[in-house]
Structure 1
Amino acid sequence: MKESVLIQNKRRLKLNLNFLKKDIVFTISLVLAMGSCLFQSPKIDYLNFPVLMSLFNLMLAIKAFEELRVLDKFAISIINKCNNSKSVSAILILLCFFSSMLVTNDVALLTFVPLTLVISRKTKMPMLDTVILQTIAANIGSSLTPMGNPQNLFIYTFYGIKPVPFFMTVLSLAILGIIFLYFFMRRLERKELKVEMVPIQMTDSKKTLAWSVILLIILASIFGVIPSEAAFIITLMTAVILNHQLLFKMDYLLLLTFICFFIFVGNISNTNAVHTLANASLKDSASVYFNSILSSQFISNVPASILLAEFTPNWKPLLLGVNIGGLGTIIASMASVISYKLYIQSYPHEGKKYLLKFSLYNFSFLAFFTLIPYVIFKILKIF
Structure 2
Amino acid sequence: MAPSWIKRLANERLLIGFGLLAAVLAVTDPHPWVDHQRWLQVPTLAGLLGLMICIQGIRDSGLVQHAAAAMVERAHSLRGMGLLLVSATAVLSMVLTNDVSLFLLVPLTLAISRISNLPLMRMVILQALAVNAGSTLSPIGNPQNLLLWQYTHLPFLEFVRAMLPAFATMFALVAMLTLAWMPRGRVVLHAADIDGHPISWTQAVLSLAAMASMVLMMEHGHALLGASLLLVPFLLLERSTLARVDWLLLATFAAIFLGLGHFAELGMVQRALDGLALERPLVLYASGIVTSQLISNVPATVLLLRHAPDAMGLAVAVNVGGFGVAIGSLANLIALRLAGQPHGLRQLHRVSIPFLLVCAPLVYLAWRWLG
Whether TM-score is above 0.5 comes out as yes
With over 3 angstroms needed to count, the CA separation of the structure-2 counterparts of 1:270 and 1:180, relative to structure 1, is closer
Partner of 1:35: 24
With over 3 angstroms needed to count, the CA separation of the structure-2 counterparts of 1:371 and 1:377, relative to structure 1, is same
Partner of 2:236: 241
Output the amino acid matched with 1:369.
C
1:183 to 173, 176, 201: 176
Partner of 2:98: 105
Kept in 1, the 8 Å contact 2:58–2:207? The answer is yes
Partner of 1:117: 110
Partner of 1:3: none
Deviations 1:148-186 (A, max 9, x none): 001100111022223344222210111112211221122
1:250 maps to 2:259: no
Cα-Cα RMSD: 2.0
Deviations 1:90-138 (A, max 9, x none): 2111110111000011011111111111111112442221111011001
Partner of 1:5: none
With over 3 angstroms needed to count, the CA separation of the structure-2 counterparts of 1:164 and 1:85, relative to structure 1, is closer
Shift of 1:202: 4.1
Shift of 1:143: 0.7
Q: How does 1:286-301 map to 2 (within 5 A)?
A: 286-301=282-297
Structure whose CA Rg is larger: 1
With over 3 angstroms needed to count, the CA separation of the structure-2 counterparts of 1:185 and 1:230, relative to structure 1, is same
Partner of 2:136: 143
Shift of 1:39: 2.2
Kept in 1, the 8 Å contact 2:47–2:214? The answer is yes
Structure 1 gaps, min length 5: 1-11
Q: How does 1:1-383 map to 2 (within 5 A)?
A: 18-42=7-31, 43=33, 44-187=37-180, 188-198=182-192, 200=196, 202-224=198-220, 227-284=222-279, 285-344=281-340, 347=341, 350-351=342-343, 354-380=344-370, 382=371
Deviations 1:259-298 (A, max 9, x none): 2222223322332211101100143232221111001111
Output the amino acid matched with 1:368.
V
Distance 1:29 1:243 in 2: 32
SS in 1 for 2:161: helix
Kept in 1, the 8 Å contact 2:162–2:312? The answer is yes
SS in 2 for 1:331: helix
Kept in 1, the 8 Å contact 2:166–2:366? The answer is no
Q: Which moved more, 1:59-68 or 1:156-165?
A: 156-165
Distance 1:17 1:241 in 2: 29
Q: Normalising by structure 2, report the TM-score.
A: 0.91
